[in-house]
Amino acid sequence: MKNSVIILGMFDTLPKMLQKAAEKYAELNVQYTKNKAGVFEPTNYHDMFQKSLDFGGGLLELGIMRGDKIGLISDNREEWEQADMGLLSIGAIDTPRGCDATEKDLSYILSFAECKLVIAENTAQVKKILSIRDSIPTLKMIIAFDPIAEEQLNDAKAKGINCYQFKEVQENGHKFRLNNPDKVEQELEKGDCEDLATIIFTSGTTGTPKGVMLQHKNFTAQLDELVERIYLIPGERALCVLPIWHVFQRICEYVIISQGAGMCYSKPIGSVLLSDMAKINPELIPAVPRVFEAVYDGIWRKMRKTGGITFALFKFFLNIGLLRSSMIRKMFRREARFGNDGIFFRWIAFIIPVILLTPLNWLGNALVFKKIRAMLGNNFRAGVAGGGAFPPAIDKFFWAIGVNIVEGYGLTETAPVVSVRPIACPILGTIGTPIRHVKVKIVDDNGDELPVGVKGTVMIKGETVMKGYYKRDDLTAKVMTHDGWFDSGDIGMKTINGEIVLKGRKKDTIVLLGGENVEPLPIEMKISQSKYISAAVVVGQDQRSLGALILPSKDELVEYGVENGLDTSDYEKFANSEEVQKLIDNEVKELVNTKNGFKSFELITKTDVITKPFEVGIELSAKQEIKRFAISEMYEKQIKALFA
C-alpha cells in the first residue's frame, strides 16, 4: 500500500510533504498571523520548516521518542502547525483538541491516549490540565505557546510536572541540531506512510468520544486529486477559520501547503471574517456551512435594512438569477441526474428564455451582484463547504449571484475527504464523485449494493479510511467489514454519473409511532430559511407526529416586535409570547408543507421557542453540527410538553 502512494508521486509522510514544499517554495509565505495591532505577519516556507525541525530537536532533547503520544490543546495559531510538524518529524503522534474542550473531555482523552507530554496554548489550558493531573498518570511535561502564570508554574512543580515555553524548546532544539547534525532530518526520513500520525477524538454528536487512528497515508493519498479539484497557484492565499485541530482544517492546510499557497488564520465570526477578507483578499475559504449561512444572512439583513428601491432591485435580480442559473444547470447537466433527462427537449424549452434573461442578469450583476462579490475580495475563487449539510437554498443563492461554493463530504474516520465538487465543474445537489483511491457504494440493510437513485447506507473503502479506533477493537468491528468497507452511518444515493447525494444520518432518523422513518435534517434546513429562525431541531421519536424546537434569530425577531408595536424590553418574555409563537408557527407551516414536497408525516405539528444561542462544545460539535443527544437532555421537559 505504501508503494501505491509513492508511485503516484505523493509524499509518504506529512513532514516530507512540508520538506519538499520548503525546498520548492522557500521564499513564498506559508503562514499569515495577526499581531496585536491586527496586521497579518507572514512566515515563509523555509522558516516554518526550520522552526518545525527545531521544535522536533527540542522534543528529542526532552526525551520524546518515536511513537509517543502528545496532547496538543490549542486553537488556531501559527505555532500549532510548527509544533505538529515538528513532533511528526521525529515519529511522535499528536492527540489534538481545541481550547473549548472541557476538563472532563481532556481527562478522558489525555489519559486514554496515555500522553506523556501536553502542548497547551496558554495559562487557561495549563490550569485545566493541572486540575486533572491525577487522572493522567503518564503525564510528565507541559509545553505552552504563551507564557505560563507563576501560580500554574508552582502548581505544576508541586505535582511533578516540568513546564517549558514553546520558544524555549525551539531555541534549545536549534542548539541540539547544531550539536547533532542531521539527527532530526534522519528521524524524518525514517517516517513511513503506515506510521500513525494522529489520534483524533471525535467531538461527539452522540456521546463518548472515540479515538480515530489516522496514518500519514490517510492524509497524503488525498493530495493526489484534491489539488486538482481544489486548486491554488503558488503564492495565493486561503483564509482559515476552522478549528485547526479538526481533521477538515488539517487536510485543508495540507492541500494549501502541497501547492505552495499561504494559510491566513482568522475566526468564523462575521465581522472578523469580513474584515480579514478585506485585508487578505484570499482566493479560497474552506469553512463549515454555518459560516456561509452567516454570510448569506448578513447579505439579506443588509439589503432589508437598506430597503426601498435597492432592496426591490436586489429581490428582482436575484429571482432572475435563480431562474436563469436553474435553466442553465438543466441544459448543461450541472445538477444531480438519476436517469434520462431529455436533454434535447430541455434545450428547446430553455434556450430562448435563457437568451431573454441574460441581459437582465448582466444588469443585475453590474448593479447588485458585483457589489456583493466585492465583499469577498477581488481574488475570491471559491468557498469549500464541509463538515455538515449545505442548505440547498443557500447553495442556489450563491450560484445565482456568481459565487462558487463547492460542497465536500467526509468524516474523521476517512481523514476526512470522501468526495468534493470540483471548483471547475460543480454539480448542484451532490457532493461530487469519490476522489481517487476511495470507493463508495450504497447498500441496503442486508449489505447488498443498490442501483442508481435508491437510498441506502453509504459505505466507504480506500486509502483514506482509518486504521481503527484507539484501544477499541469492539467499536472498530461495528463499523468495519471484514473486507475493509467502512460504514459511514450516512444515508445517501448515487447519481447516474456516480456523484453522491446525501440524505441524512442513520443515527438521526426519527421513527414515528406509525412506523414512518423521518430524516430531520432536510426539514430543519427548510425551516431555517425563515429570516426569523436561526436554527431548528426536529423531534418526535416514538410519537404520532413531529415537533420542533425553534431558536429564533434575535435581531430579526426584535425588529419584527418593534415594527408591530410589541414590548421587546424583556427578550425572554417577548420570545415566548403568544404573538411570537404564532409568527413561528406560521413560518414553519409556510415552509414545511406538502406543496414544498414534504410528506404528510413530515409536517411539524407543534413548536416551542428556545432562546439560548447554540454554542460549540454544548449544543454544537466542533464542526458546528447539532448535538442531538445533548439538546434532548437539555430540553427534555420542553420536548415532553410538545407531545403532552
Encode 542-596 in three state secondary structure.
Answer: CCCCEEEEEEECHHHHHHHHHHCCCCCCCHHHHHCCHHHHHHHHHHHHHHCCHHH
pLDDT tier, 4 (very low <50, low <70, confident <90, very high otherwise) = very low
% of the chain at pLDDT higher than 70 = 98
Rounded to 5 degrees, what are φ and ψ at 512?
A: -80, 170
Question: What pLDDT is stored for residue 205 in this prediction?
Answer: 46
Rounded to 5 degrees, what are φ and ψ at 117?
A: -140, 140
Amino acid at 387: G
d(Cα 519, Cα 505) in Å, to the nearest integer?
7
* 196-201 and 211-215 beta bridge pairing: antiparallel
pLDDT of residue 352 exceeding 60, the answer is: yes
pLDDT in tens, 425-434: 999 999 999 9
Residue 355 makes CB contacts below 8 A (sequence gap 6+) with none
Query: Mean pLDDT across the stretch 543-554?
Result: 94
pLDDT in tens, 562-585: 999 999 999 999 999 999 999 999
Question: What pLDDT is stored for residue 10 in this prediction?
Answer: 64
pLDDT in tens, 165-222: 999 999 999 999 999 999 999 999 999 999 999 999 986 544 578 999 999 999 999 9
Residue 395 or 11, more confident: 395
The H or E element spanning position 309 is: helix 308-331
pLDDT of residue 64 exceeding 60, the answer is: yes
Question: What pLDDT is stored for residue 207 in this prediction?
Answer: 57
pLDDT of residue 1 exceeding 50, the answer is: no
Question: What pLDDT is stored for residue 181 in this prediction?
Answer: 94
pLDDT tier, 627 (very low <50, low <70, confident <90, very high otherwise) = confident
Residue 301, classified by CB atoms within 10 Å of its CB into exposed (0-12), middle (13-18) or buried (19+), is middle
Which pTM value belongs to this model?
A: 0.86
pLDDT in tens, 393-425: 999 999 999 999 999 999 999 999 999 999 999
Lookup: cell for 644: 403532552
Q: Give the C-alpha distances (Å, rounded to integers) separating 158 from 149, 161, 313.
A: 15, 8, 68
Rounded-to-5 percentages of helix, strand, coil across the chain: 45, 20, 35
Average pLDDT, the chain: 92
d(Cα 237, Cα 401) in Å, to the nearest integer?
23
Residue 342 makes CB contacts below 8 A (sequence gap 6+) with none
pLDDT tier, 8 (very low <50, low <70, confident <90, very high otherwise) = very low
DSSP secondary structure of 310-337: HHHHHHHHHHHHHHHHHHHHHHTT-B--
Query: Mean pLDDT across the stretch 102-109?
Result: 92
Question: What pLDDT is stored for residue 204 in this prediction?
Answer: 52
Lookup: cell for 560: 419584527
Please tell me what DSSP assigns to residue 22. H
pLDDT tier, 388 (very low <50, low <70, confident <90, very high otherwise) = confident
pLDDT of residue 379 exceeding 90, the answer is: yes
Question: What pLDDT is stored for residue 274 in this prediction?
Answer: 82
pLDDT in tens, 493-502: 999 999 999 9
